[in-house]
Amino acid sequence: MSKPELLLPAGDFEKLKFAFEYGADAVYAGVPMFSLRARENQFKTHGVKEAMDYTHSLGKKIYLTVNIFPHNSKLEPMRRAIEQMAELGPDAFIMADPGVIYFAKEIAPHIPIHLSTQANNINWASAMFWRDQGISRIILSRELSLREVKTIHEKVPDVELEFFVHGSICMAYSGRCLLSNYMSYRDANQGTCAHSCRWQYKVYKGSEHNPEYEVVATDDEMTEDGVYDPVYRPLEGNFYLEEQQRPGEFLEADEDEFGTYIMNSRDLCAIEYLQELKDAGVASFKVEGRSKSIYYVASVARTYRKAIDEMELGIKPTFDYVTELAKTANRGFIPGFLVSNPKEKAQWYEKNMQLQTHEFAGVVREVMPDGLARMEVRNRIEKGWEIEVFYPDFNRDFTQLVGFMKNLEDEVIEVAHGGAGDIFIKFEKEVFPGVLVRRKRQATSL
């Protein structure tokens, strides 16, 4: 099998550029109104054209996501959108709904169709069916094991397989969720998920109209450093959830042999299983995160780029990939279902908070003739703090202490705040526009 593709998210044109600069082979972007990141999607039709031209000028690929499940009222607008997007010449459409696929085949039969993970493809018979409908690539469900992926490839070798290797995991079956719809009237299957599964809830025992007491962690469920490490035991009685912003509203928590279904999943990280995934037949490694920052996109892209390149060269990892990835937003990592069912380890039991060890400090926008760099500040930095400048090439990274800074009014400063505008800063080594800067996460950020 040829070298697997590294596929990164492109929530907007800037993220697309950073994805390619830091190592992506291809990106996927949402068609306005009709992808499952409708709220975060910054692309408009003219922006998609610009992004597509830029991508193809690099000799790389861009796939357009049209993966909502439309009601009748959206069918004609969707048809028109597909016609417009087809004229731009994407390298593929990513789709889930059979009706939408029907439109695409009718309008632009020359454009390949990749089956979205929203279609829940988990077996080889389903893969055969979709192959016979003209699907060229299947984005497999995250819920599959390596053995299952391999079986699908062996049974249907003439269809490309794509697999998510990094990013957030939906608490529902590949995104088929109604919790957001129920809690906030925002339909995840129409691209407006409110992430209600990650809100903070209290658990009560009793009845809906008379909750007897709040269920809290016991001493044997707390580690020495105060982290909740639950002890699993059978529970009897009725339990109810109360969401933090909805006091007095109690939701019954139903449970079966598979567990309860209001969850805050840890994040997927399969970087240690790339060789196994390739051997199982995966042709494209996909990263989730169209709503994430340029810092996230760049950091994850370059780490997976290096891991894939070292894998292809047959050399052992030259550094700890997982530690590097932990410098980006995450809720703790698991390898998904690749080797086993993660069960209780799949859940993050603390608040809906990130565990990243570092934060985005800024991006270099311009290098001035006097040697100073104009930097857009994204998070607070202070004189004397250690910062790290990181490039697409790990060998060029360097750290230094923040020294000379001044604002655009030419006033020397010792503190720069994120969102307060650009500053001029002195770097100890060469930098160039587009280079990213990060710092260790401060205690006040936790």
- Is residue 179 situated within a structural domain? no
| Position 330 in a domain | yes
Shared domain for 137 and 252, answered yes or no, is no
Number of domains the chain is built from: 3
The three-point CA angle 276-278-284 to 5° equals: 130
Q: Are residues 334 and 380 in the same domain?
A: no
And the tokens for 188?
A: 């995840």
Q: Calculate the alpha carbon distances from 225 to 1, 221, 261 in Å.
A: 47, 11, 28
With 80 as the cut, is the pLDDT of residue 156 above it?
Answer: yes
The reply to whether 119 falls in a domain is yes
> Which pTM value belongs to this model?
0.81
Look at residue 313 and tell me whether its pLDDT is greater than 70: yes
In this predicted structure, the answer to whether residue 191 has a pLDDT above a threshold of 70 is no
Which of 290, 315, 346 is the C-terminal boundary of a domain?
Answer: 346
* Mean pLDDT to the nearest integer, 270-284: 97
Residues 127-153: what's their mean pLDDT?
Answer: 97
The pLDDT value given to residue 224 = 53
Token pair of 55, please?
A: 């991508």
Q: How confident is the model at residue 61 (pLDDT cuts 50, 70, 90)?
A: very high
pLDDT, tens digit, 9 for 90 and up, residues 287-305: 998 888 999 999 999 999 9
Q: What angle do CA 241, 242, 248 make, to 5 degrees?
A: 130
Q: Helix 13-21 and helix 45-57: axis angle, to 10°?
A: 20
Query: Which CATH number goes with the domain that contains 410?
Result: 2.40.30.10
80: CATH: 3.20.20.70
d(CA 172, CA 189) in angstroms, rounded, equals: 11
Report CA torsion sign: 402, 406, 412, 418. Answer: negative
Residues 331 and 363 in one domain: no
- pLDDT greater than 80 at residue 221: no
Taking Cα atoms as reference points, which of 237, 295, 238, 306 lies closest to residue 271?
306
Together in a domain, 32 and 10: yes
Q: What angle do CA 281, 285, 287 make, to 5 degrees?
A: 155
Record the tokens describing residue 374, joined without a space: 């104009």
Is 228 a residue whose pLDDT tops 50? no
pLDDT on residue 243: 72
- 175 belongs to a structural domain: no
180 vs 103, more confident: 103
Q: How far is CA 283 from CA 93, 262, 279, 298, in A?
A: 17, 33, 10, 21
Q: For residues 44-71, give the mean pLDDT.
A: 91
- Both tokens of residue 32? 């306005």
Say if residues 138 and 121 touch (Cβ distance below 8 Å). Answer: yes
Same domain, 203 and 270: no
Q: In what order do the strands lie in the sheet with 210-215?
A: 210-215, 201-207, 239-243, 251-252
Domain that holds residue 366: 358-445
Strands 415-416 and 381-382, bridge-based pairing: antiparallel
On the question of pLDDT at 189 being above 80, the answer is no
Question: For residue 216, is pLDDT > 80?
Answer: no
Q: Are both 200 and 108 inside the same structural domain?
A: no
Confirm whether 182 is domain-assigned.
no
Same domain, 252 and 394: no
180 within a domain of the structure (yes/no): no
* Amino acid code (one letter) for 167: G
Residues 22 and 155 in one domain: yes
Residue 190: inside a domain, yes or no?
Answer: no
Q: Which of 209, 241, 260 is the last residue of a domain?
A: 260
The arithmetic mean of pLDDT across residues 58-73, rounded, is 93
Chain-wide mean pLDDT for the chain? 85
Residue 77 and residue 32 share a domain: yes
User: For a pLDDT cut of 90, what percent of the chain falls above it?
Assistant: 59
Does a structural domain hold residue 183?
no
Once rounded to an integer, what is the mean pLDDT over residues 61-79?
A: 92
Report the pLDDT averaged over residues 309-321.
Answer: 92
Q: What is the pLDDT of residue 441?
A: 84
Q: Determine which of 36-45, 118-127, 205-214, 272-281 has the lowest per-residue pLDDT on average.
A: 36-45
- Amino acid identity, position 327: K
Whole-Å CA distances, 133 to 126, 141, 213: 11, 19, 55
Q: Residues 104, 67: one domain?
A: yes
Last residue of one domain, picked from the residues 346, 369, 388: 346
- Per-residue pLDDT of 245-265, as tens digits, reads 777 777 666 554 444 445 567
Q: What is the pLDDT of residue 247?
A: 79
Residues 160 and 199 in one domain: no
Identify which has the larger pLDDT, 213 or 19: 19
What are the residues whose beta carbons fall under 8 Å from the beta carbon of 319, sequence distance 6 or more?
394
291/396 same-domain check: no
Which CA distances in Å does 248 have to 241, 242, 253, 309, 353?
10, 7, 15, 54, 24
How long a stretch of residues is the chain? 446
Q: What is the mean pLDDT of residues 424-438?
A: 96
Summarize the confidence of residues 29-48 as an average pLDDT: 66
Q: Which residues contact 386 (CB under 8 A, 6 or more apart)?
A: 399, 400, 401, 402, 439, 440
CA-based end-to-end distance of the chain: 44
Ranges 31-35, 80-84, 259-263, 333-337: which has the least confidence: 259-263
Q: Which amino acid is at 56?
A: H
